[in-house]
Chains A and B, each alone.
Chain A
Amino acid sequence: MNLSKYFKGAFLVMLASLVLSACATKKVGNQIQGDVYTGTDTVEYLASGVPDRVFFATNESVLTTASRDTLRKQAEWLRKNSKINIVLEGHADERGTREYNLALGERRANAAKDYLMTYGISGSRISVISYGKERPVDSGSNPLAWSKNRRSVTVKAN
């Protein structure tokens, strides 16, 4: 969830010190941009070239440029496969209170839903579920793991 601006400061300091020193953690820096996961470790594909998930910054439900790109690919794939319905599963990381995270997951999945709808996908084909922090994909307790867990995953419903 929700430490974003508090955390961001600390994170920038951390990044700065990383640049100055280590290489081992440089990989982390390459996989997170401004707190959003940009790697592909956990990503699965709905079809060739169509990633199934988008990632969010701490406490945010704003879609990044990369997320919008992914969702446009999903929209295109959904237009071609008009019989497929989907579920958008919204998730939060473990650094927030359970109840708030349920709401945050719902907000994230709906951000993805709204974007798909503006690209012509009917709302009747999309259902939304939030898992809050209940279903992390990475069980680590570190900023990289948390960034992978702040996500909305598009899953075929039929």
Chain B
Amino acid sequence: MKLPQLFVTFALVAGSAVHAATTIVRGPYLQTATPTSMVVRWRTDNTEASVVSYGLERNELTSSAKAEGIGTEHIVQLTGLKPNTKYYYAVGAAPVPPPNPAKKAAEDAPGRAAINSFTTPPPVGPAKPTRVWVLGDPGTKNATQMAVRDVYYKFTGSRATDLWLLLGDNAYPDGTDADYQKAIFEMYPQTLRISPVWSTLGNHDGKSANSITESGVYYDIFTLPKRAEAGGVMSGTEAYYSFDYANIHFVCLDSHDSDRSAGGAMMQWMKADLAATQRDWIIAFFHHPTFTKGTHDSDKDSDSQGRMNDMRAIFLPVLEQAGVDLILTGHSHVYERSWLINGHYGKSDTFNASQHVKQKTNGRSDGEGAYKKPRRRAPHAGEISVVTGSAGHAGSATKPPPLNHPVFYLSLNEAGSSVIDVDGLKLDFVFLNEKGEKRDWFSIVKE
């Protein structure tokens, strides 16, 4: 054999060997969950086909779905699913035969052909006990992020996380693919495989993403419902969107890189979306807080180029008019939680508790009592605003942030994450710090 032929043969053999060793390097992770469909995504180190095998029993993955073509980024949508139903699934290049029951794989075992599971969302409308994990600014990749994560895992135990929200700045410093790999995919692999994640764009994510052409890392990684696949009104963009889960309507806004003007497309869409919903609860989330005196200052117009001011002065009145119940934001690396408030759209020195606080209690069922709102959709009935942007780190301990915005009942310079439990007409909220302490809690009850 001549040398060039030998080289070609060697290359082919080597190539085959590499192909045979293809492994999953990201995911699988779940996106755009609806009662009847689920998007499953993963990445392999080599090009191959995209197939998801799934079924109602671990050992009977009798259905399969595939995407056209081959690649390393795999996006497969499962359709025709039953609502509120547990499915087992495995990803790979071809339909996977069910494993030998004698070798039952651990649910969170990594690698190809591992069998994972998810539960489809329930039918839209009727209530179902729902747990939501909320992570703001998590992506530091450091011990604090891990501690916050582990505290939640211990807290939730065997209780499933129905969905989780990322409030932006998911991967520091620049939201690159490598940043995301470490800060999200290697940080939360277990949760990614079993619980759908929904995200909003933060300023650090924006460094590697281009919202105007909707391209770049953030838009490549997430599959979000631009065509109202999961409920709500069609936005036509992944930058802002809405979705329903049971009796909750979630509204995701882009406070970073979309037009925030009163006449802009995002506002036009949001008004129509809010007017259309029939869900009991409305929860809005976006990156830049309407109020904060943490590591950012919502009183300063120059801070974040006026984005916080825009969200407070332009979007908050419309959200309140529509009867929003809870507003979740990050950006400021602290925890700040308001009273039940309404109608405060100015700087902190214009805040007037007698005018802007609907119920000046701590909202705790075991304290001064839960916040009460009428069930009938009432404009300006009050909402709780929560800045929970410390899932990756808190503000400086040596030069602590002022944390003195009067709109807040409680402000903490502590790392942690938040948990929402909705059960019918009751919403319970908890903030867990990185030490595992329940540092704040409140409830809203609709009557």
Q: Do A and B associate with each other?
A: no
Chain A residues close to B by CB (< 8 Å): none
